Chains A and B, each alone.
Chain A
Amino acid sequence: MHDKQQTAINRRNFLRAAGGASTVAVATAAATLNPDEAQAYNPGEEEMGPRYQETDHVKAFYRVNGYETLEK
């Protein structure tokens, strides 16, 4: 009876010890993670650069859309 009770206590102690160890492991992992804020995807200067050009094609679009309003 006494042995049986001792075994049960050991099992409980083991679970407590395992729980404590896992808490320490999680805290360590959290501390070693990079604390920086999330950064938006950056494909590089070249791909982020301006593409719009006011070509004759684009000017023609503005002209025909403002044909009745903008200066002739």
Chain B
Amino acid sequence: MARMKFLCDADRCIECNACVTACKNEHDVPWGINRRRVVTINDGKPGERSVSMACMHCTDAPCAAVCPVDCFYTTADAVVLHSKDLCIGCGYCFYACPFGAPQYPRTSNFGSRGKMDKCTFCAGGPEADSTEVEYAKYGANRLAEGKLPLCAEMCSTKSLLAGDGEIIAAIYKERVTQRGYGSGAWGWQTAYRETITV
């Protein structure tokens, strides 16, 4: 069975933020939350690198391991989702996540954060597929429509890859054999305990 993964080819990312904008628009993400964001290292200097980051849907997800109400679950596609009905907004998952993926819609003087929100790999949530309830809580369910995450589909430089892990790894490996390894597939070792060796 296909295992869904993200791969950001950092040698191609030009920090255009189209992935961020596409995600916010597609899922009507509330103010204050970015499910995906572009991180730039050595900005403006030689050797500058940008990488588009969101939830990597880890193999052994640390967010799920620390959740006190066990609101996370992993689908057959290996997509890590959560139930906003169960989430208590404690923030543990934010501290556990190596990618800083979990986001919270509110901050208050009394520590109330609201329900956690994160990338769903465009796979919705525990509600019935493509319903208004699902859209309101988790956003569009493109996977059920036979599509892939919009951030990857919108990527102008073909930097962000999403889909079947074996296929996107093959695409990346071929790029590497032609141009060299470059900055590598950042985050793969952390999320999937796997490296791409060529």
* Interface residues, chain A, with chain B CB atoms under 8 Å away: 38-43, 47-55, 57-58, 61-62, 64-66, 68-70
- Chain B residues in 8 Å Cβ range of A39: 70
Residue interface mask B63-79, A partner, CB < 8 A = 1: 01000001111011101
**B126 touching A58 by the CB < 8 A rule?**
no
Chain B residues near A57 (CB-CB < 8 A): 146-148
For A49, the closest partner residue in chain B by CB is B76
Question: Which of B72, B76, B127 lies at the interface centre, i.e. has the most chain A CB atoms within 10 A of its CB?
Answer: B76
Find chain A residues with CB under 8 A from B72 CB: 40-41
Interface contact B73-A55, CB-CB below 8 Å: no
Q: Are B73 and A43 in contact (CB under 8 A)?
A: yes
| The stretch of B50-58, B88-96, B157-165, B183-191 that contacts the partner chain | B157-165
* Interface secondary structure of A, over-half rule: loop
Given A52-B77, A62-B171, 7 additional A-B pairs, CB 8 A: A40-B70, A50-B1, A51-B141, A52-B143, A53-B146, A57-B146, A66-B171
Contact present for B73 and A48 (CB under 8 Å): yes
The verdict on A55 contacting B146 (CB below 8 Å), with A40-B73, A49-B76, A62-B163 known, is yes
Which B residues have a C-beta under 8 Å from some C-beta of A?
1-2, 4, 64, 70-73, 75-77, 79, 82-83, 86, 123, 126-127, 129, 141, 143-144, 146-148, 152-153, 158, 161, 163-164, 167-168, 170-171, 174-175, 178
Given A66-B174, A70-B170: A50 touches B77 (CB 8 Å cut-off): yes
Q: Which residue of A lies closest to B152 (CB)?
A: A61
Known A-B contacts A40-B64, A41-B83, A69-B174; the reply to A52 vs B73 at CB < 8 A is no
Bound complex: CA of A55 vs CA of B2, how far in Å? 13
Q: Whole-angstrom distance between the alpha carbons of A41 and B178 in the complex?
A: 44
A-B contact pairs, 11 of them (CB 8 A): A40-B73, A41-B70, A41-B72, A41-B126, A43-B83, A50-B1, A51-B144, A54-B2, A58-B147, A62-B168, A65-B158
A43 touches B148 (CB 8 A): no
Instruction: Tell me whether A51 and B163 are in contact (CB under 8 A).
Output: no
Cβ-closest chain A residue relative to B71: A41
Task: Tell me which residues across on chain B come within 8 A of A38, comparing CB atoms.
Answer: 70
Separation of A50 and B146 alpha carbons in the complex (Å): 11
B158 surroundings in chain A (CB, below 8 A): 64-65
Complex alpha-carbon distance, A53 and B164, angstroms: 10
CB distance from B159 to the nearest CB of A (A): 10
Contacts of B71 in A (CB 8 A): 41
Which residues in A have their C-beta under 8 angstroms from that of B163?
A: 52, 58, 61-62
